[in-house]
Amino acid sequence: MEKIKKISISINSLSCAVDGKVILDDINFSLTSGQSITITGRNGVGKTLLLNTIMGFKASFRGKIFINGGDLSSNPSNRQEQIGYFGHKASLQIGLTPREVLNYWKAFYSSDAITSDLIKFWELPNNAVENCSKGQRKRIALARLSLMQRNIWVLDEPTTNLDPVGKEKFLELHTLHLKSGGLSIITTHEPEQFKKSKMINLDRYRGNLSQC
Amino acid sequence: MLNILRLEFLLILRSGSHVVLAFSFFLFFMLLFALSTFRDNFILSGIGLTAVWLSLLMSTLLTLNKVIHEDFESGVLDYLLIADIPIEVTLFCKTIVHWISVVLPLLLITPIVLLTFQISSYNIIKTVLILLLGSPSLSFLGTMISCLTLSNRSSFLLTTITIPFYFPTLLLGVFCSSSTTTNLFAFEYLLLYANTLFTVVLSPYISSYAIKLNYS
């Protein structure tokens, strides 16, 4: 995370649809280095949908997403260079141990992070992921987020299932990330944890469900 | 890429029950074939080459949902898509590992199993060689179809669509195995090589395209 340059993301009148129904309508925000935004809203309002749209996992949307001024849909490779993702599913290979999981992803993200440091930091156990609790799985997934070494963090409820110590560790990492010039987009039900963060409540952006 | 292959092998090692399944299925399928044609030695040696291709095809089919469907359901595929390694390379490695872990062990026991069909040792060596050259297309076609049928959670579509796609390989394989020519560059062999090369080269690209379609 040392060599972070100036970075910005801006979302211009983004509307997301599922099965032809507009779920979210006309969302605008922009962030630059050191800023973060928390996305709140009741269950099912489309928080994860918004993140998936930014990640390119769902493509039925209108509007534009710019990273450093470049349109994301015309050069999707920006996503590979900039965005670090943390989804609501842990998405781990349950047969492996945490160390093996981290080594696996280390290769896939050509990362130079040191696995044993991450294991020590997150206090990861030495048994198969299969036998890990939900909180422990979250910790492994957060360790993977650090492995990615990307400038833009897109996080889907990073603190649920974490114990107070884990939350503290995560918030510490997050502050460090912002200080070193990164930015983050976070969905959460506890926005008060992220001090100095911008806020957006999706309840106000609900699309007209009947219309295409 | 070697590193990725190593990691994929580790995954198979830790959660590779399908390898054992394919292996035992192949073994029992072949032995049942041999046992059920006990009446006539002539039929037995004639049917052996077809049986070995058929059982190989069926046991490969059993394992296909492990190549990419599992990663899709657990969400691992999301993270593979945004990784620094291009998804085509990942898919290529996954398919190679599938071939080595599932198909190669079957080829290793083929000579022993074919002995029960009373096939001459020369023909056995030839058949194994042809299987070695023809079978990669089974894995690569399988990956392609799995990626096309990602959104179908039960592997119903995967199975029904893959079988017709396996047909050319099956026909070419049986044709080559029963051909009497010793020239390895005869027309039927060339067709088999072409079939393998074609699928090996095209599969990663078509698979990654199918995955991206599924995500949009």
Quick: pLDDT tens for A174-188.
Answer: 999 998 888 999 998
Query: Which of chain B's residues have a Cβ under 8 Å away from the Cβ of A104?
Result: 7, 10-11
Q: Where are the domains of chain A?
A: 8-205
Identify the domain containing residue B118 by its residue range. Answer: 2-214
The reported pTM is 0.90
> Using 50, 70 and 90 to split pLDDT, how confident is the model at A207?
low
Chain A residue with minimum CA distance to B90:
A108
pLDDT of B26 > 90? The answer is yes
Q: ipTM of this model?
A: 0.87
Residue B160 CA, distance from chain mean position: 16
Count of the separate structural domains present in chain B: 1
pLDDT of A84 > 70? The answer is yes
Lowest mean pLDDT among A55-69, B79-93, B166-180: A55-69
Contact A4, A81 (CB under 8 A): no
Interface test with A, best of B11, B82, B215 (most A CBs within 10 A): B82
Q: Inter-chain contact B215–A91, Cβ cutoff 8 Å?
A: no
The conformational region for residue B11 under phi > 0 = left, psi -120 to 50 = alpha, else beta, is alpha
Rounded Cα–Cα distance for residues B42 and B143 (Å): 38
Q: Determine what percent of chain A is predicted with pLDDT higher than 90.
A: 20
Q: Does domain A8-205 sit in CATH 3.10.250.10?
A: no
Lowest mean pLDDT among A131-140, A143-152, B179-188: B179-188
Query: B10 and chain A: CB distance < 8 Å anywhere?
Result: yes
Quick: pLDDT tens for B63-88.
Answer: 998 888 888 988 899 999 889 899 99
